[in-house]
Structure 1
């Protein structure tokens, strides 16, 4: 590494140290300064400040704070450039190119040391604190991290309420100054929730300035540390980090040497640049596994939606209380609504096999669902014992005959301690019965009691589950866990997360129409979401007359979500009998890729619309998806990304002219065209609608006969 001499300016009565760092393309500039012993940073894009001078440091418990009294021991500046290939992802190759500044600090009054490492990319900044091994700061407790993000104005923000336990909220779009007045409306009921402030919001936070600059704040590589929220001071538009506490109110337990997670700032004049940024992934460590051949993208269906809508039940019997090891479930009378029964699961396996789906999720297969919800029950599931009407071995063998796997479901009911009690046995049970992926859940308040979903204890638990699953070659899709921070690069068997308000809420009253035009700018910045799209029946009462919810979407937009809501784990959420009524539209779900060589953003404006184009890895096939908010709009795109020497067959799944997410959601049309790289499309998108496109290379010109050129 090359050492760069620092420059010092003595401005009485302050001592000022300053050093600049440029991005590889010189568009971004980060300025680090020590002012009167206080470490600060500033970030500029071109000549414009993105983050004004902001302070760094920590309040410590029962120790002198790490906020001031610092001097610079040394600085090191270096450049790094590599290209790496993810096991799965939105791009076949990712460039990791940054300029780095490491600042080594000493707090002379305590003889303690703290380093700050900055990495500046062409798409933004990542920085973290590092605590070297030292005699006077080994074990310590963080009372609060005091990292600031000083904004330049009252930006428009796309936000959800700061909460220690859930991200399952609709997004609010407002000025930063309006957050406090809108907070009560933004906090809606959830199974477990702990909002902490009228001005606290969650990351990833998306903003837009009045001059059209897009800014995103998040974190990367969240390991052995609590999840970070942002607390706004509305008087000066400064966000400060707010860590999730434990039951004692402590924020983080540290043992040097160790780093914190990275704090990330992305910015661009082009909204699509935020969506295509790989900064979060690049700040994580390389893959931890030598063999990744067992990690593969999954397209699945499941015995799930009928329980979510209330048509069927997770539980086998209607009794108020059961105890594992004591209750004889074979003696209980079935309620007749239990969905996870052998015959029904065989029906799903048959449908999966017929239509090319690799897995079938089954929820409610294991004993204990009778009194699981909201009881703060520790020994609630054993993850091993099936209900009397669920034949594990017969279904395993039947699925194998059909070349389909069953997907395991582990609902912990928030009792993470109990899950760890059974984890090895549960994963071994999966391996023995040909399950290679698990959907885990953490609904309800956490046990150990007093811990929060996003606290350090639970952050450690989620990663422990992923690492343990890897020992059994199992892929993990964790629901209600902390929102992802790019750890899927290091642990690619973390193939999905929920950690946001997903499709299930369409059966709980509905999501806002703009929801999926915001999520890619926020929740998906850290990693893929198991959003579970594919709802073709919007009137939930058709499944359950007692449920009057309405899914706020058209069928065409549901198809688009398979492209716009990136995930290597994609579910067709609705019931087989519903898909059989719309097999022409269902064809897109069957065809759409899971793993991508190239991803492009053709149009994007957070809260309004997003249009993606993605090329499937290992093929010449392209897929395009467009999601729309509640306003009718016209999408205008070009196909100049196609190979210049090829002709293609384009299949367009679009809203009909009279489609509307509330009044006519099933109105769609399917058309085929002949296209090449010169082709363009101007396409109407209904309120709450969108479109999906598959583009297949025409190997034989005869395939193009009779097709109109677009």
Structure 2
């Protein structure tokens, strides 16, 4: 650590409670150790539900925008590949240069943002830290000009003083251009989102991309999520759901059980009218259907007014109720074996 005197060291926190559920109900402690919001006008910061557009094409984006507009979602997102190979230092995030391993295009970024604006839908763009660290001062004004609503930072460095300082400065700069943020991969929350609430969520969790069993999710639910929001990238039609030993019901429940102001739904799936992918490139996906239970994804909020943990046992079971206005949503996930529980709705008024 390198710092001129005098200086303050970071908080180190020990949380204690009677049970796992009480810890989760009081996880605001971490945020409260950070400074209040530094953003005077927060009206542009909008949480919501996100659909990743997997084809990286203009046609696919139009289809995704139409779908999310019809299903009470707020954003679409282009992930890695829109500006070239994310892992190459030579890839330029000030250009739309498709990675040929992921898409043949075409992709007209400004046409996509314009169509999204017509429909009231925002666009989030993924940028790997290799480009961000070199180009952030050029990228931010350009994305603002394009009409982009947010950035998903990828593979940021974590752990040391320099990495943390860069992250905090990048979040501040992004706020100046009124863009929201999702940080992916290893970064775990420290409560900095209280000071810069445009920093809506982060990964830092072994979510659905890792095909973890529900028992693991039930460990993360009462450990990792104590630190803050978790972008779990919720799958639905992907074969990962079967690999995880879960069910479509538990996938729906994750949107209540795992808090994230940005909820990425239908990870690896595509909108019904998106182009058919028969090119063999990365991104072959299932098409989203119209099963009646998907109305739950349509209606579920991403931020809440109150949380009650009804059942909690690390690795075994979690039943969580969350309130938005006058409406309560309840999600329950069990571990490796089936169980029957009596849930008491003592909190209803």
> What is the aligned partner in structure 2 of residue 596 from structure 1?
304
Aligned partners of 1:459 and 1:482 also within 8 Å? no
Question: Displacement of 1:364 after TM fit?
Answer: 3.9
Aligned partners of 2:214 and 2:333 also within 8 Å? no
Aligned partners of 1:538 and 1:552 also within 8 Å? no
**Which is greater in Rg?**
1
> What is the aligned partner in structure 1 of residue 313 from structure 2?
605
Runs of 4+ in 1 over 6 A off after TM superposition: none
Counterpart Cα distance in 2 of 1:532 and 1:493: 19
> What is the aligned partner in structure 1 of residue 343 from structure 2?
637
Judged with a 3 Å threshold, the aligned counterparts in structure 2 of structure 1 residues 579 and 557 are, in CA distance, closer, same or farther, namely: farther
> What is the aligned partner in structure 1 of residue 155 from structure 2?
442
Using the size of structure 2 for normalisation, the TM-score is 0.88
> What is the aligned partner in structure 2 of residue 290 from structure 1?
40
**1:420 maps to 2:169:** no
Structure 1 residues 243-254: aligned runs within 5 Å: 252-254=1-3
Structure 1 residues 126-525: aligned runs within 5 Å: 252-277=1-26, 278-304=28-54, 339-364=55-80, 366-369=82-85, 372-373=86-87, 377-387=88-98, 389-412=106-129, 415=130, 418-442=131-155, 453-506=158-211, 511-525=212-226
Aligned partners of 2:84 and 2:97 also within 8 Å? no
Question: Displacement of 1:519 after TM fit?
Answer: 1.0
> What is the aligned partner in structure 1 of residue 227 from structure 2?
526
Question: Displacement of 1:421 after TM fit?
Answer: 2.6
Gaps of 5+ in 2: 99-104, 273-285
1:363-413 superposed Cα distances (whole Å, 9 cap, x missing partner) = 2453322xx44xxx433333433436111122122222222122111123x
Question: Displacement of 1:582 after TM fit?
Answer: 4.4
Structure 1 residues 75-114: aligned runs within 5 Å: none
Aligned partners of 2:75 and 2:123 also within 8 Å? yes
Question: Displacement of 1:583 after TM fit?
Answer: 2.6
Relative contact order higher in (CA < 8 Å, ≥ 6 apart): 2
Gaps of 5+ in 1: 1-251, 305-338, 444-451, 541-548, 644-710
Of Structure 1 and Structure 2, the greater strand share is in 1
Q: Secondary structure at the match of 1:352?
A: helix
Judged with a 3 Å threshold, the aligned counterparts in structure 2 of structure 1 residues 367 and 606 are, in CA distance, closer, same or farther, namely: same
Aligned partners of 1:340 and 1:364 also within 8 Å? no
**1:583 maps to 2:296:** no
Aligned partners of 1:476 and 1:493 also within 8 Å? yes
Question: Displacement of 1:462 after TM fit?
Answer: 1.1
1:278-332 superposed Cα distances (whole Å, 9 cap, x missing partner) = 221221111112111111112111124xxxxxxxxxxxxxxxxxxxxxxxxxxxx
Question: Displacement of 1:441 after TM fit?
Answer: 0.2
> What is the aligned partner in structure 2 of residue 224 from structure 1?
none
Q: Select the residue among 528, 535, 550 that pairs with 2:243.
A: 550
Counterpart Cα distance in 2 of 1:489 and 1:502: 24
Judged with a 3 Å threshold, the aligned counterparts in structure 2 of structure 1 residues 282 and 453 are, in CA distance, closer, same or farther, namely: closer
**1:535 maps to 2:236:** yes
Question: Displacement of 1:539 after TM fit?
Answer: 5.9
Q: Secondary structure at the match of 1:273?
A: helix
Of Structure 1 and Structure 2, the greater helix share is in 2
Aligned partners of 1:454 and 1:481 also within 8 Å? no
Counterpart Cα distance in 2 of 1:467 and 1:563: 29
Q: Secondary structure at the match of 1:634?
A: coil
Q: Secondary structure at the match of 1:424?
A: helix
Question: Displacement of 1:355 after TM fit?
Answer: 1.3
Question: Displacement of 1:558 after TM fit?
Answer: 0.3
Aligned partners of 1:530 and 1:570 also within 8 Å? yes
1:179-237 superposed Cα distances (whole Å, 9 cap, x missing partner) = xxxxxxxxxxxxxxxxxxxxxxxxxxxxxxxxxxxxxxxxxxxxxxxxxxxxxxxxxxx
Using the size of structure 1 for normalisation, the TM-score is 0.44
Counterpart Cα distance in 2 of 1:622 and 1:254: 47
